[in-house]
Amino acid sequence: MTNPSRVPTGINPNVPNAARMYDYYLGGKDNFAADREAAEKIMALGPSRDICLANRRFLGRATRHIAHEGIKQFIDLGTGLPNQNNVHEVARTVHPDARVVYVDYDPVVIVHARALLAGTDNNITIVHADVREPATILDSPEITRLIDFREPVGVVFLGVLHCLTDADDPWGVVAAFRERMAPGSALIVSHLTDDAHPEVGVAAREVYDEADAPLVHRTHDQVSRMFDGFRMLEPGVTHVAEWRPDEAWEKELAGSEWWYVGVGHKP
């Protein structure tokens, strides 16, 4: 039973929410019964929790890598509910003064992120905006205060572009950020695919049809197009466990084939 005091104004706890479902996959507690019910349907189809954990670990590896290359400012788009290995936590192991802007359109995410960031320094902030409106994000006061587009920036699309339909033009969204990014900037992308399991993909999309955001699996070629104008870091666009694994178990991680991931530099 949902506790009404936990529900922010304007939130319908009876409609599955993609961010809260993801939180449940990762073992979080910021979710409602409808989210858990939908997530359990997805988990019955395959190793969803391992799949999501692999995605978070990729975020940590990729963020750490580009931070070591000298990038000290980051934009995390469609950030989702705070969990382990948040961008600012990883980046600040390399650069204690790293600047990070989180962006999400979900009011639940905004409430929790602001609570998490309360009392932190002024070099971390959250923007309430829709990733489908890149100009609004790029010109927002929070972005212009913290991000200097004359310097390299790390732009992160972790598990968000598959929530955009083709009509939303995820390739155009990425391109809008690319145009503002200085040479030497980095793009981090992870995207769900059903290339290896098309029949399971159909069932998963049916579950998300009842949620607040769609699920659009894409092919290797479609994900690779998101890196147009970028120089890919080795090993290019690949399955998540194959992107520079730092622990042996990740090489055999269940469900790795559900993610295409990559990191590219703007020349």
pLDDT in tens, 44-88: 887 777 888 888 899 999 999 999 999 999 999 998 876 667 999
At 249, list the tokens: 């178990």
User: Residue type for 70, please?
Assistant: G
Flag whether pLDDT at 11 surpasses 60.
Answer: yes
**Are 76 and 102 a contacting pair, CB within 8 Å?**
yes
The pLDDT value given to residue 195: 95
Taking only the tens place, the pLDDT of each residue in 87-125 is 999 999 999 999 999 999 888 788 877 877 766 788 999
User: Residue type for 61, please?
Assistant: R
Give the residue-averaged pLDDT of 1-5: 38
- Tracing tokens 């955009």 back to the chain, one arrives at 164
Is the pTM value of this prediction over 0.85?
Answer: yes
Taking only the tens place, the pLDDT of each residue in 187-215 is 999 999 999 999 999 999 999 888 888 99
Flag whether pLDDT at 175 surpasses 60.
Answer: yes
The pLDDT value given to residue 201: 93
Give the residue-averaged pLDDT of 241-267: 83
Q: pLDDT confidence of 238, banded at 50, 70, 90?
A: very high
The pLDDT value given to residue 138: 97
Give the residue-averaged pLDDT of 234-244: 95
The pLDDT value given to residue 26: 80
The pLDDT value given to residue 106: 84
The pLDDT value given to residue 248: 56
Taking only the tens place, the pLDDT of each residue in 218-236 is 999 999 999 999 999 999 9
